[in-house]
Chain A
Amino acid sequence: MSHHDVVVVGTGLAGLTAAVRLAESGARVLVVAKGVGATHLSGGTIDVLGYAPERVERPREALAGLPPEHPYALVGADGIAAAIGWFKERFAAGSLAPYAYSGDVEENVLLPSAIGVARPTAVVPETMAAGDLRRDEPICVVGFRTLKDFHSALLADELGRAGLTARATELELVPEGRRDANSLGLARGLDDPAFRGQVVAQLGSRLRAGERVAFPAVLGIADPHGVWAALEHALGRSVFEVTTLPPSVPGMRVFAVLREALRRAGGTVLLNNVVTGAERSDGRVSALRTRVGLREERRGADWVVLATGGFAAGGIELDSRWTARETALGLPVAGVPGTGEERFRPGYFDDHPIGRAGVAVDRELRPVDAAGERVLENVLVAGATLAGAEPWREKSGDGISLATGYRAAELVLAASRTVVATGRAD
């Protein structure tokens, strides 16, 4: 059986954040996961709080109005700000530097979604910042005919309806050797100066004075800063990316930077390791059981950070009898409506009571039971597994994952320091 200071379960934003923060502080960290997490599916922005329930302009102010069981209430605005600061530093010193993020918890910007809806978000990569819809320069939306999931005309029309000046154009270009390309294929193409040159050549004469240029988020995977800066320079105007359907290139950049930071800090990642339970004694977990292929392995740990995601990722399951289960450790699940209680509301985008179900935790992110009693001393829960939020309505998913993942690491570090300082050992 292996033994690590910390075993993190999950490779999404919450798990990777906790793992990198811990490994860079000298902890021996093992990350186990079923597969690669949701970073590849996220837009690559950190949405802290977009709706509460009205559109939020100043997240810090709106955070104060969240109910006490909301994960943000446990972390606090300063805790979120600290996590964001760390995240931005990680990129500044990361493997894709100088690719950088801007923004904070004080103010939201409004970026267009792929179908032209204004999307409030707080922390954005430099390649998206010029898309702020609060600015009034007209927009030329550039599409690639082969990128079937990004419709420049639809995006431009919707922006027009929202009162902006926008029009669309489409390029007939495919990276060499491809008949067809998804967003990643185009991003790899744009990393190549030759293909970029073709884009500039085809596009240059179509642009009008004063327009900024919207591209799908495909501006490079190996060197996004270089691709974006080169296009701004060549086109002589602001250029920005609009998030696409998966695979999300900006999301992949987040994964790449955090994964490489973890590798450099000596952390290990084991995929296809599905946590099926734990060995416990005295309210602590001493080892996790993981299913690896056809075998079961034991992974010893002083601390466990559980960041397996919610219903979508399989971190929490609900059966047809309305019994909810936290799949890795069997932790209590809070917020599941009981028999006779309202579970769903009629409208698709309504506030559904089941949406807030998850693992309830105390202020130190330890899981608690229905009576509010801590069930495990050395397990911390982070990210979408947590109860009390409805990220897709609030637009808070990335912010919760980042802030709670970071807080989990801080709590483990603080507790380990206390143990060392008092000479107490388990």
Chain B
Amino acid sequence: MDVLGPLLMRESLDHCVKCTICETFCPVSNVTPLFPGPKYVGPQAERFRVDGEPSFDSSLDYCSGCGICTQVCPQGVHIAEINTQARAEMKATRGMPLRDRILGRPTLAGRLGTPVAPLANWTLRNRLARLAAERAVGLHRDAPMPRFAGRTFQRWARRHAAPAAARRVAFFHGCGTNYYEPRLGEMTVALLEHNGYRVEIPKQDCCGLPLQSNGLFDDARAYVRRLAKRLAPYAREGVDIVGTSTSCTLMLKREALEILAMGDDADLRAVSGRVFDICEYLLAMHERGELATGFGAIPETVLYHAPCQQQGHGIGKPALDLLALIPELRVVESDATCCGVAGTYGLKREKYDIAMKVGSGLFAQVGESGAREAVCDSETCRWQIERATGVRAVPPVELLHRAAGLP
């Protein structure tokens, strides 16, 4: 069955009945008149966009790409996907800012920053340097920036002796884990090994998502192809692929197929059917009775925020079910839809204030909850939450790893 057949992106706009449900959920149009809302900009304006003619609707660029509109649409219109495609078209005809070309390539920054981590981290936190960056390329002076770890997860993985185990799983760690949070990768491997898996860590590069969301589709496709080629052998052998970056796994699961229209890439089709978000995977193990649940108590209160791009998986909030297995852990669930940053959106000079307004509800909840830690599946959201609230933000895996008493 060609699953992409009935789900063709642009054609889905004909299902729009103008019910406005998407507009009531849009976190961006809720806080700024610069974005008139997903229905106006999406299924309505799309009818006026003609191939080969310039697009005149600049408001499109203020969509953060969080994808909530597509989630809530009762008619199956791929609103966010239509908007992402149209924005790429618009930026292609109007010219791409240098900033967006840089933000779209986290591996480039990672490779350059890692060997000189102390200097790079100092620069990213230096007021004058940030003011200069804001002036020169439009990167907002206060936007959250990750910290280079100074080592890569790949380097750790090459030295790691994987114990023999009955089951195999491939780990798609993504750029965030490789350059900024290698410890997350180590904890994930430890947790999976603890559950009887041999974790294989293929050589890998960026999934192309930041390029896609900045409208650089051709460059994004090249990254997707390269990554899919690396991961496809595992999928074809029947080995599942798990990822700790929830938006990057979504990219491989469906966004590259849907938004970049890469349905003809056989490697990607194979990978798409086998890739899982880490919490989705652990919860499925638990449902089969295979998860080691001898968790120790964590007598703490944490606030859990499900990132909007994780909601695009359609898997609910598996982290909540997993955290509920930890004795004495009190989890306050945030009902905020978005932290605002939406990947690279909230880093941009002209969008930073909007992103902070979008996230304000979440930031207030973090404060009111009295939580010592915020828990969130997505790295860019964690950096945004930490920057805005001063509360440490951790991935769900970290708590599971801690409760399992692993080193």
Decide if B24 touches A272 in the complex (CB within 8 Å): no
Q: Does A110 contact B (CB under 8 A)?
A: no
Decide if B30 touches A1 in the complex (CB within 8 Å): no
Chain A residues with CB below 8 A from B311, complex form: 271
Closest Cβ–Cβ distance, residue B264 to chain A (whole Å): 14
Chain B residues with CB below 8 A from A313, complex form: 74
Decide if A178 touches B33 in the complex (CB within 8 Å): yes
Decide if A35 touches B73 in the complex (CB within 8 Å): yes
Complexed CA–CA distance, A182 and B18 (Å): 13
Complexed CA–CA distance, A363 and B257 (Å): 46
Q: Does A294 contact B (CB under 8 A)?
A: yes
Complexed CA–CA distance, A188 and B32 (Å): 13
Complexed CA–CA distance, A274 and B316 (Å): 14
The digit string for B263-283, where 1 denotes a CB below 8 A from any CB of A, is 000000000110000000000
Complexed CA–CA distance, A49 and B1 (Å): 46
Chain A residues with CB below 8 A from B23, complex form: 182, 184, 247
Q: Does B335 contact A (CB under 8 A)?
A: yes
Complexed CA–CA distance, A274 and B23 (Å): 22
Q: Does B327 contact A (CB under 8 A)?
A: no
Chain B residues with CB below 8 A from A314, complex form: 74-75
Query: With A1-B287, A34-B76 in contact, is A294–B253 under 8 Å at CB?
Result: yes
Decide if A271 touches B24 in the complex (CB within 8 Å): no
Decide if A263 touches B314 in the complex (CB within 8 Å): no
Decide if A34 touches B315 in the complex (CB within 8 Å): no
Partner of B74, one of A36, A292, A293: A36
Number of A-B contacts (CB under 8 A): 89
Chain B residues with CB below 8 A from A329, complex form: none
Complexed CA–CA distance, A313 and B311 (Å): 22
Q: Does B4 contact A (CB under 8 A)?
A: yes
Complexed CA–CA distance, A35 and B79 (Å): 12
Decide if A294 touches B254 in the complex (CB within 8 Å): yes
Q: For chain A residues 286-303, which have a beta carbon within 8 Å of chain B?
A: 292-295
Q: Does B21 contact A (CB under 8 A)?
A: yes
Q: Does B313 contact A (CB under 8 A)?
A: yes
Closest Cβ–Cβ distance, residue B353 to chain A (whole Å): 11
Q: For chain A residues 254-301, which have a beta carbon within 8 Å of chain B?
A: 260, 263, 268-274, 292-295
Query: With A35-B75, A40-B24, A294-B253 in contact, is A246–B19 under 8 Å at CB?
Result: yes
Query: With A2-B287, A293-B313 in contact, is A35–B21 under 8 Å at CB?
Result: yes
Chain B residues with CB below 8 A from A271, complex form: 71-72, 311, 314
Q: Does A136 contact B (CB under 8 A)?
A: no
Decide if B316 touches A272 in the complex (CB within 8 Å): no
Q: For chain B residues 54-78, which have a beta carbon within 8 Å of chain A?
A: 70-76
Q: For chain B residues 202-236, which have a beta carbon within 8 Å of chain A?
A: none
Q: For chain B residues 15-69, which have a beta carbon within 8 Å of chain A?
A: 19-21, 23-25, 30, 32-33, 36
Task: Name B's interface SS.
Answer: loop
Q: Does B3 contact A (CB under 8 A)?
A: yes
Decide if A3 touches B74 in the complex (CB within 8 Å): no
Partner of B25, one of A36, A41, A182, A274: A36
Closest Cβ–Cβ distance, residue A170 to chain B (whole Å): 21
The digit string for A230-258, where 1 denotes a CB below 8 A from any CB of B, is 00000000000000001100001000000
Closest Cβ–Cβ distance, residue A96 to chain B (whole Å): 13
Q: Does B7 contact A (CB under 8 A)?
A: yes
Decide if B76 touches A274 in the complex (CB within 8 Å): yes
Chain A residues with CB below 8 A from B24, complex form: 40, 184, 247, 252
Decide if A294 touches B72 in the complex (CB within 8 Å): no
Q: For chain A residues 28-47, which have a beta carbon within 8 Å of chain B?
A: 33-38, 40-41
Closest Cβ–Cβ distance, residue B195 to chain A (whole Å): 19
Q: Does B193 contact A (CB under 8 A)?
A: no
Q: For chain B residues 288-330, which have a beta carbon within 8 Å of chain A?
A: 311-317
Decide if A35 touches B76 in the complex (CB within 8 Å): yes
Q: Does B186 contact A (CB under 8 A)?
A: no
Q: Does A53 contact B (CB under 8 A)?
A: no
**Residues of B near any A CB (own CB < 8 A):** 3-4, 7, 19-21, 23-25, 30, 32-33, 36, 70-76, 253-254, 257-258, 272-273, 287, 311-317, 333, 335
**Residues of A near any B CB (own CB < 8 A):** 1-3, 33-38, 40-41, 177-180, 182, 184, 188, 246-247, 252, 260, 263, 268-274, 292-295, 313-314
A-B contacts, 16 listed (Cβ < 8 Å): A2-B287, A34-B73, A35-B73, A36-B72, A36-B74, A41-B21, A182-B20, A182-B23, A184-B24, A247-B19, A247-B20, A270-B314, A270-B316, A293-B254, A294-B253, A294-B257
